[in-house]
């Protein structure tokens, strides 16, 4: 536990769980700073080195489609830089550059419970949202129904094939997040659509503020 990041509240978890929506609701009407991990990724790629972040550095030279053209979901997870701790130090660098005089909400898919646990002032300052597989499929199918967005992520590869790969990989990533959250005693919120994002944000607000 540490006091340096006592002002930070962490919202992690799987893709399609509504992390960004919940973060936006938490920020509404409050004097807070929001850190968007997806937006920060371009900065990670610009700062990574072959020695410090070999997997992330290798990804920087690949096309969107190449990043997903792996034989199995297990190999896709094993290749993720975040699984090997390559992205978290870059996140920490970014957070240290932001104001510390107000709550800082971190919305980041890549952050794992084992990394967050050592920085928390209290366990309730982090939560990991994990979507039901059907909920995620519906959310990502809607997200990538836009051909331009699909092309930006997967190039000219078949979107249906790439979405299937993404769903399979993310299911394994969820399992890793769940395992670590349980090991470190950090909260997991199951997302299946029965509880609206406002209710989830309300629950987190009680613990965060």
Residue 143 CA: distances (Å) to CA of 101, 148, 150, 151 = 35, 11, 8, 12
pLDDT at site 157: 80
CA atoms within 13 A on the CB side of 165: 19
Least confident of 26-30, 62-66, 102-106, 111-115: 62-66
Per-residue pLDDT tens over the stretch 99-142: 999 999 999 999 999 999 999 989 999 999 999 999 999 998 98
DSSP string computed for 8-69: EEEEEE-TTS-HHHHHHHHHTTS--EEEEHHHHHHHHHHH--TTT-HHHHHHHTS-HHHHH-
> What confidence tier does 69 reach under pLDDT thresholds 50, 70, 90?
confident
- Average pLDDT for 15-36: 96
pLDDT at site 98: 96
Residue 179 CA: distances (Å) to CA of 148, 172, 176 = 35, 11, 5
Hey, CA dihedral for 179, 182, 186, 188, is it positive or negative? positive
When comparing pLDDT for 75 and 182, which is higher?
182
pLDDT at 6 over 70: yes
Q: Tell me the whole-structure pTM to 2 decimals.
A: 0.92
When comparing pLDDT for 48 and 104, which is higher?
104
Residue 138 CA: distances (Å) to CA of 22, 97, 129, 142, 151 = 18, 36, 16, 6, 19
């Amino acid at each position: 536990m540490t006091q340096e990041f006592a002002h930070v509240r962490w919202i992690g978890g799987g893709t399609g769980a509504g992390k960004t929506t919940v973060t936006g609701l938490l920020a509404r009407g409050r004097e807070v700073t929001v850190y968007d991990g997806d937006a920060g990724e371009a900065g990670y790629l610009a700062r990574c080195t072959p020695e410090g972040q070999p997997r992330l550095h290798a990804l920087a030279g690949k096309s969107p489609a190449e990043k997903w053209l792996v034989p199995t979901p297990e190999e896709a997870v094993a290749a993720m830089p975040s699984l090997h701790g390559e992205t978290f130090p870059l996140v920490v660098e970014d957070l240290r550059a932001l104001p510390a005089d107000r709550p800082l909400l971190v919305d980041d898919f890549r952050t794992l419970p084992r990394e967050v646990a050592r920085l928390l002032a209290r366990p309730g300052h982090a939560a990991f949202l994990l979507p039901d597989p059907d909920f995620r499929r519906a959310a990502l199918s809607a997200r990538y129904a836009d051909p331009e967005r699909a092309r930006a992520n997967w190039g000219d590869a078949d979107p249906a094939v790439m979405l299937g790969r993404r769903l399979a990989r993310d299911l394994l990533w969820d399992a890793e997040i769940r395992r670590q959250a349980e090991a470190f005693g950090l909260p997991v919120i199951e997302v299946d659509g029965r509880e609206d994002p406002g209710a989830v944000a309300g629950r987190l607000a009680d613990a965060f503020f």
